[in-house]
């Protein structure tokens, strides 16, 4: 059955959904306030992190957070001006770190990761983007035996799920990635880690494929949503209105404001991520490196060496603090002594994050004709193909391949 569908959001989630819905015969228009790949999807580390089955909200993070928060340029920071506003979200995050909730979140996240991995290559093949996929692995490094031992419970959980990895000493790490500082004494290599040649070029390629299939992408800001009979009425910021059969809300960090108009009070907050992309000649990088104790990664893209990560819980309005990007780059120089820091381009983007680490996927409380697909945090690219499959099944009235209860907007 052909349905008129508007997807709000032209990032990796929105465009993946648009392509799958289009392939199933729906007539799809994508609306975005800035256009394709203008938000967080453009500046990611490029990973398909299917092995990250453990939620960020966990007892381990609670142990690290106080130390991190003491460093205003460290892996986790909250600008003082934003602290009162973020407090309710932080309380929910603390509650999500309870062992029982962590177990439930892990089961749900694992299911979404498995689905996303199984859907990815068929999706990319259909979209003509499979040549952009890389399988170069990931190396997580640790400063000393104590930090390594603290990671073992997480690796045990991955092992129980059949995820392949191997622990390494300094000599083993050097074989995979020469040039690491000797301060890193232990490491774990995950050979099945996927990445993309360049995340922005990937999203732009999805947009091109969607347009070539007859889809429409319009630059427009949606200011209002309301049920309208058997459809949905959208009010744009310029005053124009559209009525359509179905709407998919995939507007990233801006999604919760529209969801609230339909009765879904979703505690979405904005993780402001920073990075610096250096020229390819800056370092002979052979695999993605995760400096977990410092909250950032170094990735080789087709367009450069990207140093980025960390979390700044600062909302959408405060000006960027590029000292955070500079601090990560200084650390990268110390951790990779041969890294040349000249010629870098800085970036800051907004990751849409929920306190239990799980996205919102499923119908709105206010209208069955609106489907939510937002809040993926660090994992938007990773979970994009799986989310697209789930949303397309909902549009078609098919039973989704996994239980969507843990992802409901009403769980809050």
Pick from 193, 138, 192: which is nearest to 168 by CA?
A: 138
Pick from 395, 400, 366, 365: which is nearest to 26 by CA?
A: 395
User: Strands, DSSP E only, in 90-160?
Assistant: 133-134, 138-142
Tokens of 213: 């299939």
User: Of all residues in the chain, what percent carry a pLDDT higher than 70?
Assistant: 99
256-277: average pLDDT = 95
pLDDT at 261: 96
Pick from 271, 268, 238, 244: which is nearest to 255 by CA?
A: 268
Q: How confident is the model over 221-254, as pLDDT tens digits? A: 999 999 998 999 999 999 999 899 999 999 999 9
Q: Is residue 160 pLDDT above 70, yes or no? A: yes
Could you tell me if residue 230 is left (phi over 0), alpha (psi between -120 and 50 degrees) or otherwise beta? alpha
Q: How confident is the model over 60-85, as pLDDT tens digits? A: 787 777 777 767 788 888 888 898 99
Q: How confident is the model over 288-323, as pLDDT tens digits? A: 999 999 999 999 999 999 999 888 888 898 899 999
Decide: 373 and 354 in contact? Cβ < 8 Å: no
Q: Is residue 1 pLDDT above 60, yes or no? A: no
Rounded to two decimals, the pTM is: 0.95
Phi, psi of 324, rounded to the nearest 5 degrees: -65, -45
Domains of the chain: 4-42+201-267+357-411 (3.50.50.60), 53-113+124-194+268-353 (3.30.9.10)
What letters, b where the CB count within 10 A reaches 16 and e where it falls short, cover 33-47? Answer: beebbbbbbbbbbbb
d(CA 288, CA 299): 5
Residue 2: which pLDDT band, with cuts at 50, 70 and 90? low
pLDDT at 70: 66
Pick from 125, 202, 119: which is nearest to 393 by CA?
A: 119
Strand-pair category, 241-244 with 47-48:
unpaired
Strand-pair category, 296-301 with 360-363:
unpaired
Provide CB contacts within 8 A for 70, sequence distance 6+: none
Return the DSSP state at 123: H
d(CA 314, CA 320): 9
**Angle CA(200)–CA(329)–CA(285) in degrees, nearest 5?**
65
Strand-pair category, 269-278 with 345-353:
antiparallel
State the chain's mean pLDDT as an integer. Answer: 94
pLDDT at 64: 78
Decide: 5 and 27 in contact? Cβ < 8 Å: yes
25-52: average pLDDT = 93
Strand partners, 226: 233
pLDDT at 61: 80
User: Strands, DSSP E only, in 174-295?
Assistant: 186-190, 194-196, 216-219, 222-228, 231-236, 241-244, 246-249, 269-278, 288-291
């Amino acid at each position: 059955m052909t349905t008129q569908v508007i997807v709000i959001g032209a990032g990796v989630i929105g465009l993946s959904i648009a392509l799958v819905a289009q392939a199933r015969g729906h007539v799809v228009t994508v609306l975005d306030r800035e256009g394709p790949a203008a938000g967080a999807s453009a500046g990611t580390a490029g990973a398909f992190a299917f092995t990250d089955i453990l939620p960020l909200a966990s007892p381990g993070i609670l142990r690290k957070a106080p130390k991190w928060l003491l460093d205003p340029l460290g892996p986790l920071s909250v600008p003082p001006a934003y602290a009162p506003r973020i407090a309710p979200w932080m309380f929910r995050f603390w509650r999500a770190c309870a062992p029982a909730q962590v177990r439930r979140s892990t089961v749900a996240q694992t299911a979404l990761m498995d689905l996303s991995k199984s859907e990815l290559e068929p999706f990319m093949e259909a979209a003509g983007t499979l040549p952009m996929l890389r399988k170069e692995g990931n190396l997580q490094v640790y400063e000393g035996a104590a930090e390594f031992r603290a990671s073992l419970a997480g690796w045990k959980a991955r092992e129980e799920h059949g995820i392949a990895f191997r622990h390494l000493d300094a000599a083993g790490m050097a074989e995979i990635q020469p040039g690491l500082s000797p301060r890193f004494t232990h490491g774990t290599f995950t050979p099945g880690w996927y990445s993309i040649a360049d995340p922005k070029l990937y999203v732009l390629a999805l947009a091109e494929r969607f347009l070539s299939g007859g889809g429409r992408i319009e630059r427009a800001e949606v200011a209002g949503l309301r049920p309208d009979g058997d459809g949905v009425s959208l009010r744009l910021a310029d005053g124009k209105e559209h009525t359509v059969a179905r709407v998919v809300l995939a507007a990233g960090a801006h999604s919760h404001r529209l969801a609230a108009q339909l009765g879904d009070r979703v505690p979405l907050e904005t993780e402001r991520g920073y990075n610096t992309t250096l020229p390819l000649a800056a370092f002979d990088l052979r695999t993605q490196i995760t400096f977990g104790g410092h909250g950032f990664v170094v990735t080789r893209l087709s367009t450069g060496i990207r140093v980025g990560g960390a979390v700044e819980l600062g909302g959408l309005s405060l000006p960027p603090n590029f000292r955070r990007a500079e601090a990560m780059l200084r650390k990268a120089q110390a951790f990779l002594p041969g890294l040349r820091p000249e010629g870098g381009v800085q970036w800051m983007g907004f990751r849409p994050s929920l306190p239990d680490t799980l996205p919102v996927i499923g119908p709105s409380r206010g209208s069955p004709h609106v489907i939510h697909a937002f809040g993926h945090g660090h994992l938007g690219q990773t979970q994009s193909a799986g989310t697209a499959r789930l949303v397309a099944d909902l549009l078609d009235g098919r039973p989704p391949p996994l239980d969507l209860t843990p992802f409901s907007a009403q769980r809050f």
